[in-house]
Chains A and B, each alone.
Chain A
Amino acid sequence: MTSTVGPIGTTASGRRETAAPDGLRARLARSLRRNGPGYLFLLPWLVGFFGLTLLPTVGSLYLSFTDYDLLNPPRWTGTANYSYAFFEDTRFRSALSVTFHYVLWSVPLKLIVALALAMALDRGVRGISVYRAVFYLPSLLGSSVAVAVLWRQIFGDAGVVNQLIALVGLKGPSWITHPDYALWTLIVLAIWQFGSPMIIFLAGLRQIPQEVHEAAAMDGAGPARRFFRITLPLLAPVIFFNLVLQTIDAFKAFTPAFIVSGGNGSPIDSTLFYSLYLYIEAFANFRMGYAAALAWILLVIISIFTALAFLTSRYWVYYEDEGR
């Protein structure tokens, strides 16, 4: 980007160095002129950030070093909560493993489905807006209680899936309450609600100029080749955006397990999502201090994953306004 005038609210940055030292009042006035508008615009966010996010977050950091049952004042216990989590708590371990499993499967599969359907819808399909709406419908249902009943209806022992299986003479288990499959039904639920990434992919595909495809087709590139050579690289920023946001969301996932599996991680903790475990510890078992520690551990894990995504992105994500 080559603009000649600097951003609004500031003069060219060079002037700062050349300016002669003058009175405090003048300096203040200049600083105000330079920073004032920015901070004025940012003010609502700043109030919200400090008041509603930072303060409670720091509060929970403090709580994570205490024994706090919500009802009596917190009692300082040092790192006891953290060492309990890492060295003693077997449910913590299974919750972590369930969540990793969920993230590693649901995110890529959801993105693949979203991308596939976005491409199928991309150009020249009649009635695209109807399809788009239909594909988005499941996402509108969100985490409504009705989802729980629907999912039982599909993956229960007399559900639709087993009726289909029965057609070929086999008998399926009750998928939703079998420890080997219960988590998979939640992964399928996540994939089913692929509406938002699909919309974002659709928008991204629209950014790719048709001429590029046409030129490649002229050169004799088949659909597969065009997909890997043109669509994927040009779509990389969008894929990256979806990947990061979906991963964060999946790590934080709570409602699928809370609503579908009845909120206790059943069977045998196979659907005990990390957030669900945190919630149980905080509000059912009155261990807010421990729950705060769990929350902070999750925050660190999500940060690491996000940082990793950003670090690796420079090798596979190219932005059009860079180096071209």
Chain B
Amino acid sequence: MKALSRRDFGRLVAAGAAASALAGGAGPAFAETRLRYIWWGNPDRDKRTNATVDLYHKKHPDISVDRESYAWADYWPKLATQAAGRNLPDVIQMDYRYIFEWARRGQLADLTPMVGKELKLDHFDKNQLESGKIGGKLYGLSMGGNSVALVYNKTQYQKLKIGLPDPLAWTFDDFIKLAKDVQPHLPDGVHFTANKGDNESWLEMFVRQRGKELYTKDGQLGFELDDLVAFWTIMTQMQKDGLTPPPDVQAQDTTGALEKTMLVLGKAITDFTNSNQLVAIQKLMKDQVDLTTLPNQEGNRPGQYMKPSMFISQSASSSQPEEAAKFLNFMVTDVDAGDILQIERGVPADSEVLKHVEPSLTEVEQRMTRYLTLLAKHVGPLPPPPPKGAGEIQQLLYPAYQKVSFGRLSVEDGARDFMQRAKDILKRA
């Protein structure tokens, strides 16, 4: 056995020893404090994050941070297993849809006691700070602000010599009219827009424009059957009119992978996205892309809001909460860290960091900040924190809308079916 690979075997034993030392709460000899930090990402984000952690090591030689990074799909089962084993890392990247679920299940630490001490949040955007709170307790710090957006193929629009209406006031009627103007000029198989009737953020924006919310403060569904029917009626009508791709083509895009979006695939010249993804989308496209706001409804009530793209949180079971909090603080408020992270996770919430980062942004990144600056004039308040089971309902929306778009159910029946299932999930959660 030793002859097989002595070095690996030695490391294996060392790794085992380190793990048991961690489980026992004792620190190993070569670093006084050891933290574990877990995030999801892609190679680019991993590189930036790793460089930031290396910088932290340089600044704090007595602290070592073990990194664990996964792709989105693997991240959640991994985290769930670790939580089941009471073995969560000290510092955890969290998604807006799941943070409250994890907080309610008692897995995340309340950061409030650290504010003003380890966490120096004087320059932190108030709204962004608020977005990590539930019941007055702070469970995560926004790693960057973003918002939903329409992303469009600017090159194609310019070729067609068609301009976009006023982004702050245009309506769904304008949207559909634009679609009908554009569609005849597009080649076969290319459509005006992707059909995102299955997208929770689209739906949220839609019901907020009607003065509703996805969820009420007490964790019930915050919209009615009529709202969903209205939304899906628009979407399915556009599909029938050929303004969006047929359902089997659209169904390629249900996992959120950018490569499978209609825009990147060249099936549509408009799509729905999160603003911080513009840079990644541009990398996948030859044509130039840009962002604009979503169409409005009667009364022009803003449906969009500034949303944290992701949070950095601390596990409730961390044995060194102060050290973990210092690391959190570094990640979101240190200008040198900001230099490395830039706006890959969204626009930094700390104004000092943002000021520091802005001059070095690339042209594509500036398109994104320009969009957010424009949008800032037309955003609503933060929605109430989603209840337990919200993640499951988000997933339910895909098959529910597909039943309608594939014509298996009428819009009304499909919407009724979805409402019933969503209520069941909330009851069971």
Contacts and interface: CB of A to CB of B under 8 A. Distances in A.
Contact of B251 (A70, A178, A269, A282): A178
A10 interface: no
Given A69-B105, A266-B402, A288-B84, A177 B392 contact: no
Contacts of B398: 264, 266-267
A264 B401 CA distance: 14
Interface in A56-71: 69-71
B76 interface: yes
Given A178-B248, A284-B391, A266 B84 contact: no
A283 B77 contact: yes
Nearest to B106: A71
Interface in B89-141: 101, 105-107
B9 interface: no
Interface string B243-267: 0001111011011010010000000
B419 to A, nearest CB: 15
B200 to A, nearest CB: 13
Contacts of B391: 284-285
B61 interface: no
Given A264-B395, A267-B406, A177 B251 contact: yes
Nearest to B73: A263
A286 interface: yes
Contacts of B107: 71
A179 B406 contact: yes
Interface string B340-371: 00000000000000000000000000000000
A195 interface: no
Interface string A50-89: 0000000000000000000111100000000000000000
Interface string B220-253: 0000000000000000000000000011110110
Contacts of A152: 252, 260
A301 to B, nearest CB: 24
Contacts of A173: 246, 248
Contacts of B81: 70, 283
B77 A177 contact: no
Interface residues of A, number: 29
A279 interface: yes
Given A266-B398, A267-B402, A71 B84 contact: yes
Nearest to A267: B251
Please classify the interface of chain A as helix (H, G, I), strand (E, B), loop, or mixed, using the class held by over half of its residues: loop
Interface residues of B, number: 31
B291 to A, nearest CB: 25
Interface in A170-195: 173-174, 176-179
A72 B106 CA distance: 8
A284 B248 contact: no
A256 interface: no
Interface string B308-336: 00000000000000000000000000000
A284 B395 contact: yes
Contact of A262 (B247, B254, B408): B254
Given A283-B77, A283-B80, A288-B84, A267 B106 contact: no
Contacts, number: 87
B178 interface: no
A197 interface: no
Nearest to B266: A158
Interface in B375-410: 389, 391-392, 395, 398-399, 402-403, 406, 408
Interface in A128-161: 152, 156-157
B403 A268 contact: yes
A266 B76 contact: no
A283 B79 CA distance: 9
B105 A72 contact: yes
A173 B406 CA distance: 12
A268 B83 contact: no
Contacts of B77: 279, 283-284
B83 A283 contact: no
A70 B85 CA distance: 8
Nearest to B253: A177
Given A72-B105, A174-B251, A266-B402, A286 B80 contact: yes
B255 A264 contact: yes
Interface in A272-319: 279-280, 282-286, 288
Contact of A70 (B83, B389, B402, B408): B83
Contacts of A284: 76-77, 80, 391-392, 395
B252 A177 contact: yes
A268 B408 contact: yes
Contacts of B76: 283-284
B254 A266 contact: yes
Contacts of B392: 284-285
B249 A157 contact: yes
B105 A71 contact: yes
B83 A71 contact: yes
Contacts of A156: 252
Contacts of A72: 105-106
B255 A268 contact: no
Most buried by B among A69, A263, A267, A283: A267
Contacts of B408: 179, 268
Given A283-B80, A286-B80, A264 B254 contact: yes
A178 B402 CA distance: 10
28 contacts: A71-B83, A71-B84, A71-B105, A152-B252, A157-B252, A173-B246, A174-B248, A174-B249, A177-B251, A177-B252, A178-B251, A179-B406, A266-B251, A266-B398, A267-B247, A267-B248, A267-B254, A267-B402, A268-B399, A268-B402, A268-B406, A268-B408, A282-B80, A284-B391, A284-B392, A285-B392, A286-B80, A288-B84
Given A174-B252, A266-B399, 17 more contacts: A152-B252, A156-B252, A177-B248, A177-B252, A177-B254, A262-B73, A263-B73, A264-B398, A265-B399, A266-B251, A266-B255, A267-B247, A267-B248, A267-B406, A280-B395, A283-B76, A284-B77
A-B complex: 3 closest residue pairs judged by Cβ atoms: A262-B255, A177-B251, A283-B77
